[in-house]
Structure 1
Amino acid sequence: MAEGKIPFHQRVADKLIEQLKQGTAPWQKPWEATGSSGLPFNPTTGKRYRGVNVLNLMSEGRADNRWLTYKQAAAQGAQVRKGEKGSLVQYWQFEEERVVRDESGKPVLDAEGRQRKEKVELERPRAFYAVVFNAEQIDGLAPIVTTTHEWNPVERAEAILRASGAKITEEAGDRAYYRPSTDSITLPLRSQFPSADRFYATALHELGHNAATRIMPHGVEMARLAA
């Protein structure tokens, strides 16, 4: 089935399932993306995205939580960079405004001679879609205020990391990973973690991948580890 024909909710579910397999789903990250102060929201309307849109936008792994349409960006004097791919959001219309009519079908007028209107609940809600871009994909937007955390290092945990001999780099971002080709570990900045335990849990998790790669070729060592 072509991607465009796959229902929106199914596409989001498939993406999240894949991220769950890789351990990178939004709620599996014990750190906060740089500059993020909460859930995805639209800086033009001031409203936060809701429902499945929250999961869809958070799964993009962006450090900025601002999302807006191409036209909304342009209205602020900003510009979506050429070649950037937007993300789909879905919203529903549950009611619509209709002109009030009398028994003969003529519009009912108010005291000022204008047509009276009323909101009517739709029998079948309508789904609409829009493409939004993250602030990181847009030039000309004001930078978002960065949220940082301060906590004291745990010496015992630091000693474990030092003793491992692993090359560990901390950089602003939204990923924690071990790269076998360079035998190195990359972590988000410490200030992105709300507490020390979350930072060290992430560091030790990646250190486990490092250790597993080192001993993988040696069956004896693997056997000892499993014993």
Structure 2
Amino acid sequence: MTMDRNRQTQASKDIYERVTNQIIAAIEAGAGEYRMPWHHDGSSITTPVNVASCKAYRGVNVIALWAAAQESGYPSGTWGTYRQWHELGAQVRKGERGQLVVFWKQADRDRDTDRQDGDGDREEPARCMFARGYTVFNSAQVDGYTPPEMPVLQAAERIDHAEQFCAALGIDVRHGGSQACYIPSKDYVKMPEFACFRDAIAYYAVLLHECGHASGAKHRLDRDLSGRFGSAAYAMEECTVELLSAMICADLNLTVQPRPDHAIYIDSWLEVLRSDSRAIFTAASKAQQIADWMHAQQVDAHQQDRGAA
């Protein structure tokens, strides 16, 4: 039993390192243009989805699959294992390289279930769970598959959805000045006027970023990364809310563009990721937790509107 547990622990460590190294390579490749693995065009590549279950990937898997799609220029966010494609009558082309995704397996044989990063309320898998890697292939790597046509929202409709989404969060947003920031002592987000941004999408991407910071307040998600990352906690908080902003923008079909002002964080992010193979898993899991919280506020707001009608 101890030998099996040690073998599983080593396998988990290897998977953490493989995924982390892939994301480090993607950050390094785009650092000169401030392009991170979580930047996307908001249309063809949104939240990655599994072709068999039609469920979205979560947590660190989102970042890993975005990075892979960006590197290879895949126009789609649909992925599946070799067997899943085969069962759909499609064939992965010979010589295609797959992408590693991670699920966690219960060590207890009586609880034989897989869990993605970001599932549940914990920032990391419990000690009784071990990382299990699966290889998935993008729809651009297979023959015999015709993707369903997806509706394309007009720009005005996407912006309207973003406005409603942010309003439903119930976070105090005040406009004025030249800097966007969250002020914890007064619990409000400060944003420059709408006209100061290059376009509407840039405004909402920044607003979601700052609302991501606000989600960490004690009366919301009570997020504290200082114990996990020490002096690097601030940089990792920035990384977490950047991932969050990208996740929500993908859900809203909004483009996420590189931000030169994040150049000051890139070296810090890389330093933490190189020293801690679980760091990106924690940041992605926390970002997923914030995204889940934000989506829950939409449901609550909708129910309140129905009650008031």
TM-score normalised per structure 1: 0.48
Bigger relative contact order, structure 1 or 2, given CA contacts below 8 A and separation 6+? 2
Decide which structure has greater strand share: 1
Decide which structure has greater helix share: 2
